[in-house]
Amino acid sequence: METSIINLITDCLVPTATAVAGWFAGRRKRQGDAIRNMQESIELLTRNNKKLLDDLAKVNDEVLELRRENTELKLSVDQLCRENSQLKTEVQDLRKQLTQAPA
């Protein structure tokens, strides 16, 4: 009788107990791995976000510089247009003088 109880324990209860213990240990490991994977994903997203913010800041600085240059160029074009208009007027006056001068 004792051997049948021992056989029952060794054949059924020990494997069942080790299976349950293994399942609990594996469950904790899987949860730990899942948390670790989530942390790695968050770190990757954080690095990518920082890089994008740095790139955005650089692009914003370039936009500001281009706007400043554009304003300067517009002012230069306006000044050149005024000078061109004045020179056209001078040319017209000189042509009138040439046509009115006695030959």
pLDDT 10s digits, 25-77: 778 888 888 999 999 999 999 999 999 999 999 999 999 999 999 999 999 99
53's tokens: 């913010």
DSSP class of residue 27 equals: H
Q: What is the pTM of this model?
A: 0.56
DSSP class of residue 67 equals: H
